[in-house]
Every structure is written in structure tokens, then in C-alpha cells.
Amino acid sequence: DPAAPGIDPRRLTDLLARERAAWTEGRPKARALHERAKLSQVHGTPQHWMNQFPPPVPLIVDRAAGARLYDTDGHEYADFGLGATAALWGHNHPAVVAALRDQLDRGLTTLWPHEDHVWVTEELGRRFGLPFWQFTVSASDANRFALLLARVATGRQRILVFHHAYHGSVEQTCAVLTGSGVAAPPGVDPNGVDVRQTTKVVEFNDLPALERALEPRDVAAVLAEPVMTNGGAVIRPDPGFHAALRDLTRRTGTLLVVDETQTIPAGPGGCTGELGLEPDLITMGKCLAGGVPAGVYGMSDSVAAATARYTATGDGGLGSTLAGGALAVRAMRAVLGEVMTERTYTHMNRLASRYESDVDSVIAHHGLPWHVGRLGGRVSYAFTPTPPRNAGQVYSGGGSAVREALWLYLANRGVVLNGMSGAALFSPMTEEADVDLHGELFGAVIAELVGR
Ligand code: PMP
């Protein structure tokens, strides 16, 4: 992986070695726990891919509160990772905690509907514009069921995703474009699902390629993030892209599924609300129940009719025993009713835009050919001189060693970013002082890396 443009590779190597050593040195308890974990967990982490996070020994959490993490060795961090949006409202938002405390005495899960389910589906309809909703345990499941229903509704088998999109652990969506066509992403064994059979892939913002892919009318659904957040950047649709995407999908009888899982920081109705989108299905999860596992998918009248057909005889394989469990639905009601408000977004946007301008002024000061992007309460940078238009541009820029160095430098001094992408998220519990600290540290680490 080449160093990001503008960075001195020798300085980067030295800084990385120093910060790795400092991290490991300062965490004897985490080291011992990690050694124990290696005997009962793949790679010594509870989910195998966590071993790709930057620190050589995992950050082992003792507790989390507000927008802060406290590790097992006594270190405290301002948490801008926020569980990759699952903790977007902060780790113990008072409204969520009060709802959960109350629900603990009223039953955790019953496999019967509660009043809260009706309140939540009505509210989702009001915010996101689709009439019918169902519950899942995760956003991955919401995507899995949305794609299945799109196949049922259209009688077609294939799906289309954008290059390097991530939609969760949904096998047929893990596909990228290569010189020789569609393939599993680098590092994913092609012997899982043969994505050449299931999936078409085009670059985001590439309308001619999209049209060519949909014209044979064999694609059940396009599954898309409305603004791409994976690939460690904010990748915005070109002006007119969404209108053309909707037009092309309608014209070819293809359903449009909008995945809002990572774009809830854009506004109280996600990007669907902010950009006025009209998808056939919407999927989301993560932060909806304030950290309790939960997902939902919304659908149009005609997809709802297909759902009713598919499941008319009983077991349809859609759903899970714990989907829409009482605890999750009570928490969702608290989040939608009391947390996901204009006031919350005003705070998130204000701090996120300060953070964005701190990063922007350091980039400008050193003349680095980097770009910082913001989507409401989410900020991340790409190692491209102009705003990236697709994930191909982001990945060809390299820079993973720089991301690792920045993560470690900041974390060794009390600031945690997302372990995978380096993105920062802003919660209603994030404090001004956390943003100040990040701004100072970011200025210092870049000065060291460029040698000025
Ligand atoms: N959609 C998007 C856009 C995501 O980024 C993710 C996870 N990062 C998912 C869906 C799946 O969420 P989960 O892993 O919680 O099922």
C-alpha cells in the first residue's frame, strides 16, 4: 500500500513503529486478555474481522458512557467511533436508558405484538414515506429480506450493487468490479457464494454503465447507499444521479432498495428525507434501538403484496424469533420519539462541522492533496485532491498505513476514530472539548508526518 500523497514514507514508518510500541506498552491487562482470547476466539477477537483494526492489541473496553470509552487498563477516550453508528446517540442516552430500565420489568421478549410496534411502524412511515414495515435483528437481515422480496416481487434473480459498497454480511452483496468482471472483494474467499451468478456491479455515479446493466431487465433490485459511506470517505451522488437512478429502475421494472444504515447521521429522515428519495424499499438498523440489536425494512404497497404472497402459507424464512423483541422495540420508540430530533441533529451538525473545518485547515495549511467530507454528523477524509465520485477513486489512492498511523497517534492521546475507516461520528453527547482535543492532535500528527 503506497503512503497517502503528501506524506513522507520514512517519517510514516518511524511514527507507526513508535505508536504501536507505545500502545502495547501501556496496556498490560489488554495484552493478557488478548492472549487468553486467542485460545477460544478466531484471531483472539469476538468477530474475526476485528483483527484488522489498527491497534496491535485490541482496545478492551471496561465501560462506555456518554461519548467516552474507558479501557481495561484505565485509559479514557473521546469516542468518535461510536460503534460504527450503533452508538450514534451516545453510550447511555438518558431517554434510552430510562426506556430500557422500565422495560426490564415488563418483559424482554414475548413473540406477541406490543403497542410499541404500532407506534414505531407508524413513525417510520411518517419519516421515511413508505407505508409498510417489518422488524429484523440486524441491518444485514433487513438487506437480506429486502433482496429476497425484490426477487419475489419481480420474478428476477440478480441484484446490482455499487463497487465497494458494504451492506452487511449478505453474501451476494459482497462483490466488486475487477479487470475481469465481478468478483468477491480482495481478501474474501471466492468459494463462499459465486457472485458472478448473483450480482452485477457498477461504479457509483456511472449512469451509462448502470443503464447497460439494467437494460436486459434481469435485475430484481438495485441496492444502494444514498450517499456512499464505505471506502473510508463520503461519496456524494452527482447532481441528478438519484433522479436518473429512479427513472432507470422504474423504466426497466427494477426495484430500488435504499440502505440507510450508515446515513441516519444525515438527518431525522435519513438521506431519504434530506434528498427527497422515492425508493421501493428502505433498510436500516444499528442506532435505531440505541444499541440494542434491531433492524427494520420498509416497503411500498406492491412489495407488501408480494410479501403477503410469499408468506401466505406460513413459514417463509423471513424474520427471526427475536426480531422486534420487546426490549428492542421499546428502545426504538424512545430513540424515534425523544432522541432522533431536530435539536439532536443541530448539536451533531455543529460539532461535526467544527471538526471538518479543523481537518480542512490542516490539509490546506500543508497543501495536502486530501479531501474531507461531511454528511451531517459523520466526517471522514479521502486521500484524493477533489471530492471522490466513486469508491474506485478512494481505493486507488492507497493510504491505509496513514490511516493506521493517525488512528494510533490519536488513540494513544485519548481520541478514538472508527477502527475500519477512520470516520468520525458525532452524538448528542459529544462535547466541544473532545472536538478541540482532536483538532490539536490532528494538527500535530500531520506536522510530524510531513516534516514541518
Ligand atoms: N448496511 C450498511 C451500509 C452497513 O455499513 C452495514 C454495516 N456496517 C450494514 C448494512 C449491516 O449492518 P449490521 O452489520 O449491523 O448487520
Range of the domain at 401: 9-79+343-450
Enumerate residues 6+ apart whose C-beta is below 8 A from 368.
5, 6, 7, 362, 446, 450
Asked if 367 and 446 touch (Cβ cutoff 8 Å), the reply is no
Enumerate residues 6+ apart whose C-beta is below 8 A from 255.
150, 153, 154, 220, 221, 222, 249, 280, 281, 303
Q: Are residue 291 and residue 173 in the same domain, yes or no? A: yes
Task: Tell me the three cell numbers of residue 394.
Answer: 478512494
Domain edge (last residue) among 280, 313, 339:
339
What is the number of domains present in the chain? Answer: 2
Q: Are residue 300 and residue 380 in the same domain, yes or no? A: no
Tell me which residue of 281, 207, 200, 217 sits closest to 245, measured CA to CA: 207
Ligand 1 centroid, distance to 285 Cα (angstroms) = 8
- What ligand 1 atom has the least distance to the C-alpha of 262? 3
Q: Are residue 266 and residue 385 in the same domain, yes or no? A: no
Q: Are residue 57 and residue 156 in the same domain, yes or no? A: no
Q: Cβ(71) to ligand 1 under 6 A?
A: no
Choose one of 261, 262, 425 to mutate for the ligand 1 pocket test, by most ligand atoms within 8 angstroms of C-beta: 261
Residue 27 lies in a domain: yes
Ligand 1 centroid, distance to 418 Cα (angstroms) = 14
- What ligand 1 atom has the least distance to the C-alpha of 86? 15
Residue ID of nearest Cα to ligand 1 atom 2: 167
pLDDT attached to residue 226 = 98
Residue 89 lies in a domain: no
Q: Are residue 318 and residue 361 in the same domain, yes or no? A: no
pLDDT attached to residue 311 = 73
Q: Are residue 273 and residue 360 in the same domain, yes or no? A: no
Distance (Å, whole) CA 209 – CA 217? 14
pLDDT attached to residue 236 = 97
pLDDT attached to residue 161 = 98
pLDDT attached to residue 396 = 78
pLDDT attached to residue 314 = 64
Residue ID of nearest Cα to ligand 1 atom 6: 168
Residues of the chain with pLDDT under 50: none
Domain edge (last residue) among 289, 318, 339:
339
ipTM higher than the 0.85 cut: yes
Asked if 257 and 147 touch (Cβ cutoff 8 Å), the reply is yes
- Chain CA centroid to CA 300, Å: 24
pTM of the model: 0.97
Ligand 1 centroid, distance to 366 Cα (angstroms) = 35
Q: Are residue 256 and residue 331 in the same domain, yes or no? A: yes
Q: Are residue 29 and residue 153 in the same domain, yes or no? A: no
Q: Cβ(374) to ligand 1 under 6 A?
A: no
pLDDT attached to residue 309 = 81
Query: Can you give the length of the chain in residues?
Result: 452
pLDDT attached to residue 5 = 83
pLDDT attached to residue 299 = 98
CATH code, domain with 350:
3.90.1150.10
Percentage with pLDDT > 70 across the chain? 98
Q: Are residue 53 and residue 137 in the same domain, yes or no? A: no
pLDDT attached to residue 395 = 83
Residue 87 lies in a domain: no
